[in-house]
Amino acid sequence: MKNRKKIVLSVLIFIFSLSIISIANTNEKNVYVVPIKEDITPAVHQYVQHNLAIIDEDPNASAIIFEIDTYGGRIDSAEQISQLILNTNAPTISFVNTKAESAGVLLTISSDTIAMAPGSTIGSAETIPNTEKILSTWVSILKSTAETTGRDEVLVSAMADKSISIPNVVNKGRLLNLTTAEAKSIEFVDIVGEDYDEILNSLSISYDNIVKAETTNSVRLARFASNTYIAPILLAAGFIGLVVEIIMPGFGIGGTVSLISFAVYFAGNVLSGNAGLTAVLIFLVGIILLIAEALAPGFGIAGVGGIISVAISIFLASSSITAAIISLLVSLSLTIIAIVLILKYAPKNKYFSRIVLNTKLDKERGYTSTENYKEYIGKTGKVTTSLRPSGMISIDGKLLDVVSEGQFIEKEEMVKIIKVEGRRIIVQKIN
């Protein structure tokens, strides 16, 4: 009985200890790090939105560090991310670790605190294209955000508008771009630090854990498909798979590879903000035209239209004209090489032989393209139509087309076959 009481008491103590530990753990203070180290695209907006939704549910979030290292990207995506940063509950820190160019400036000034790593830069936020309307809107967004977070509006505007001149800082006609030391000297940044700990200690933020945000699948896909080296390979795989599917019967591995490759390419570029529904539709039209051309004899309007449509869609889906040209040239070269190899080795494949006639109609197998007239050499016949020099003769009741050696031979004359050259039977008059 006593042993039973001891066991029950031990269990209760164990459960109580676990509860105490659990309560202690729930009170741990967390600092979250959200890295933004790629072009700012709709995929990055989804990534930040996803992670901030998780962070905002943590009552023990001490701060959020947005580690920024970007050349910029889409203005609309940057504005959306900026609003997410401005509206989050936890204290926010923008940590420029290497560079915050173009749209990265907006993300940087959206946080409560700006920190920069030694040797980093921030600025050069001019829009492309740099039309008056777009630039005016962009500068207004920057100024409004700077006003909200207490930053110098003129300094921020000078990063985007080269018509602004600031004495001892930037001359008219040049965009403002600041190094870490320059930004600190004019009090544009609050802290210079090499790592998270140094920055958090400078702000006297207590914490127990530093939690790095998870990368979403949409960001992974966007990074993968829009990569300069991967994009041409995806396109080449799609085209090669399409060729294989056309020359092979049924729907098999070629069609599967083609569908997956094209789907990954366009899905990734849509998430990256490079492509829209228009590019996808134009591409589908181009593929349909190319398939129609492949199934029809010759090369006509459908083939030309298909090539043009596919080229236009790739230009629309690429981040730049240079990227589009590289993708087209590389994918086209790889596709041509693959087609040559297929035509060289596929005839040996049992599946390819179903659609290509490999049977040889040679004499050894009993085939001949013309009747063998050599058996008539030396035989005589009667002319049934005058030879001028060609005409008809009759040999053993069979009519033959013949030609004389050049002379005219009248009807009913007798002739002798002296030579056979293929289908050409040559005769000579018998005196």
| C-alpha to C-alpha distance for 194 and 120, rounded to whole angstroms | 10
Number of domains present in the structure of the chain: 3
CATH number at residue 372: 2.40.50.140
Nearest to 408 by CA among 385, 425, 424: 385
pTM (whole model) above 0.75: no
Residue 403: inside a domain: yes
In our burial notation (b when 16+ CB lie closer than 10 A, e otherwise), range 276-313 reads: eeebbebbebbbebbeebbeeeeeeebbebbeebbbbb
Question: Do 323 and 386 share a domain, yes or no?
Answer: no
pLDDT along the chain (431 residues), means of 10: 55 48 60 90 87 89 94 89 93 94 94 95 85 88 93 93 90 92 93 92 90 80 77 86 72 79 83 76 83 66 79 79 82 84 64 50 51 80 85 87 83 87 84 73
Quick one: DSSP state of residue 215? Answer: P
- The verdict on 158 and 265 lying in the same domain is no
- Nearby residues of 216 by Cβ (< 8 Å), 6 or more positions away: 43, 46, 47, 50
Q: Indicate if 395 and 266 belong to the same structural domain.
A: no
Residue 17 lies in a domain: no
Q: Which residue, of 354, 378, 407, is where some domain finishes?
A: 354
110 & 197 share domain: yes
Note whether 191 and 94 are within 8 A (CB). Answer: no
* 95 occurs within a structural domain: yes
47 and 70 in a single domain? The answer is yes
Measured N-to-C along each axis, helices 253-271 and 42-56 cross at an angle, to the nearest 10 degrees, of 70
Answer yes or no: do 69 and 195 share one domain.
Answer: yes
Give pLDDT, residue 152: 92
Task: Identify whether residues 36 and 174 lie together within a single domain.
Answer: yes
In a domain, 2, yes or no: no
- What local confidence, expressed as pLDDT, does residue 16 receive? 46
Q: Which domain holds residue 288?
A: 227-354
Q: Does residue 304 share a domain with residue 406?
A: no
Q: What is the pLDDT of residue 22?
A: 42
Spatial separation of the C-alpha atoms in residues 93 and 91, rounded to whole Å: 7
Do 34 and 97 have their domain in common?
yes
pLDDT of residue 78: 92
CATH number of the domain that residue 116 is part of: 3.90.226.10
- Residue 12 counted as domain residue: no
* Whole-number pLDDT of residue 191: 93
In a domain? residue 41? yes
- The per-residue pLDDT for 156 is 93
- Domain membership of residue 23 (yes or no) is no
Last residue of a domain, one of 354, 372, 404: 354
Assess whether 173 and 48 both reside in one domain: yes
Output the CA angle 395-400-401, nearest 5 degrees.
145
Task: Tell me the backbone φ, ψ of residue 404, rounded to 5 degrees.
Answer: -85, 175
Name the amino acid, one letter, at 400. L
State whether 163 and 243 are in the same domain. no
Domain end position, chosen among 215, 242, 262: 215
Q: Are residues 123 and 166 in the same domain?
A: yes
Inside any domain, residue 274: yes
